[in-house]
Amino acid sequence: MSAVCALRSRCFPRQVLLGLPAAMHRSYSLDVSAPLLRTQGYVDGRWVSAASVFPVLDPATGQEIARVADCGPAEAKQAVDAAYKAFHSWKQYTAKERSVLLRKWFDLLTLHKDDLAKLITFECGKPLRESLGEIAYSASFLEWFSEEARRVYGDIVPSPVKDRKILLLKQPVGVASVITPWNFPSAMITRKVGAALAAGCTVVVKPAEDTPLSALALAELAEQAGIPAGVFNVVPCSRETTPSVGQVLCTDPLVAKISFTGSTATGKVLLKMAADTVKKASMELGGHAPFIVFDSADVDKAVAGAMASKFRNSGQTCVCSNRFLVQSRIYDRFIDELGRAMDAELRLGHGSEPETTQGPLINTRAAEKVVHQISDAVSRGAKVLRGGKRLHGSFMEPTLLADVTAEMLCTKEETFGPLLPVIRFNTEEEALAIANASNVGLAGYFYSQDVSQIWRVAEALEVGIVGVNEGLLSTPEATFGGVKQSGLGREGSKYGIEEYLDVKYMCFGGLKP
């Protein structure tokens, strides 16, 4: 049966939101062009139904916006088989042919950016302005890897003997399973899939159960761009079905590679499953980013950077600053200016409202986690200077905590919410000790105008990404990935495509000198 919601107009009424600004007290509707609101799986170039469906909810209202095919292990296996079959022809496409198709896909994302952004806002809760930014970011990976497809170079190595030549060839690894999160439901797909397809691999995507609509819209546009059947497959599924689908995608012998973005705990489970067939793996896992402000910093710029890094997507990004460390001499000034910036710039509401800067958290569990961290901090002596309350549903007030110590829960685990705890420190050595006292290391930020200190701290921070006097880092031209338990491998940049390539050594012997 079709998984389309009963309301064929593609417009779904919303309940009003209590306890939020007056502008929220009205109905909201998702209105996008019908071809982009897909609710079936996409396997081997066909839209496929499943035995059951699962609801997709607007996190701002809790109301259902669509019912999507709940694909299971059978559909996942069909997708893997289709990708494996398609791989044998796709890898024979020239680099230029793959490049042209990826560029067409990029053009279509850009053309349909408004509708694609609406899908993100309604299934993820992100403010529309940020959703438009994500679509531009998502499209940029297709553009970047359409160009990188033609730059996969091998090597000719000088031989130690005269009768042979040594060649190192780069070849696609095969079928890649791509498992993505809800917080960037479009960009996390294109960052992986753009590289995979450019290299000559085929993919099966399992999007997060909260945000399958963006993935399915990408499939629709891939088809329009002329991406061949079986090259790009999408198997949406519910939270209940996810373990069995993940089992297929991580253990099937036809899958050569897995790429996952999500929690460290889940990444470890997937790595264990992939180990039996020794699959190549890329893991972009949890973060716990420090944000350090030294006495020499430009405080105004540091406050602006803190606002951008902490409150983008209501604090729900893997590179979001989680622990704020401010040196003693400027601590009070920083706290004061930051509080005033929060008052002036942050507005809670439904993401479709133009003035909204802070949408809901993805679900009530996320809000409960933030509340728990605030309660723990307050019980240990922290002071709430702004916010601190949970509102309707999964909305959470942006919260500023002072007098935070390294013993508090919010400094020990990733928050994924709009909580900004500030720790006072005295010396550079003390700040680095606190910053590096974590088993993860994705991103780190610091503000300083001391050039010698900048080099020392940038090299000493145990992270894969460092922002120096900058709070927003991500770009397709640069690497994205962490150290410690924040993952394996790198995405984006010229190195991202290497994750989908094998190096083959060819010895050409018997040559006459």
Phi/psi at 240 (5° precision): -70, -35
158, 168 in Cβ contact below 8 A? no
HSE-CB for 307 with a 13 A CA cutoff: 21
For residue 1, give both structure tokens.
């049966």
- Which residue reads 């710039």 in tokens? 345
* pLDDT, position 14: 36
Residue from 5, 318, 320, 410 carrying the catalytic annotation = 318
Instruction: Confirm if 384 and 374 have CB atoms less than 8 A apart.
Output: yes
214-269 pLDDT, tens digit each = 999 999 999 999 999 999 999 999 999 999 999 999 999 999 999 999 999 999 99
Neighbouring residues of 61: CB distance < 8 A, sequence distance ≥ 6? 14, 15, 17, 28, 350, 393
Q: Which are the contacts of 383, defined by CB distance < 8 A and separation ≥ 6?
A: 401, 402, 403
| Cβ atoms of 409 and 390 closer than 8 Å | no
Percent of the chain past pLDDT 70, that is, above it, reads: 95
What whole-number distance in Å separates Cα of residue 138 and Cα of residue 134?
6
Q: Is the pLDDT of residue 370 over 70?
A: yes
Our CA dihedral for 235, 236, 238, 243, rounded to 10 degrees, sits at: 30
**Among candidate residues 343, 394, 346, the one with its CA nearest the CA of residue 370:** 394
Say yes or no to pLDDT of 13 above 80. no
Taking the whole predicted model, whether its pTM rises above 0.75 is answered as yes
Active site residue 71: no
Predicted local confidence at residue 7, as pLDDT: 32
Looking at residue 3, its pLDDT comes to: 36
Give mean pLDDT, residues 149-160: 97
- AA letter at 358: Q
The tens digit of pLDDT for each residue in 170-180 reads 999 999 999 99
Give the span between the Cα atoms of 186 and 172, in whole angstroms.
Answer: 24
| Known catalytic membership, residue 11 | no
Handedness of CA 182, 187, 193, 199 (dihedral sign): negative
Helix (H) or strand (E) holding 268: helix 264-275
CA dist., res. 329 & res. 342, Å (int): 22
Of 178, 171, 105, 140, nearest in space to 478 by CA: 140
Average pLDDT over residues 116-143: 98
Quote the pLDDT of residue 20.
Answer: 63
Residue with tokens 């949890």: 286
Q: What is the pLDDT of residue 28?
A: 86
pLDDT(430) > 50: yes
Catalytic residue among 75, 123, 284, 397: 284
**pLDDT for 123-135, tens place per residue?**
999 999 999 999 9
Q: Which two tokens stand for residue 335?
A: 């706290």
For 5, list phi and psi in degrees, rounded to 5.
-65, 155
Q: How far apart are the first and last CA of the chain?
A: 69
- Residue 55 pairs in a beta bridge with 67
313-341 burial string, b = 16+ CB within 10 Å, else e? bbbbbbbbbbbbbbbeebbeebbebbbeb
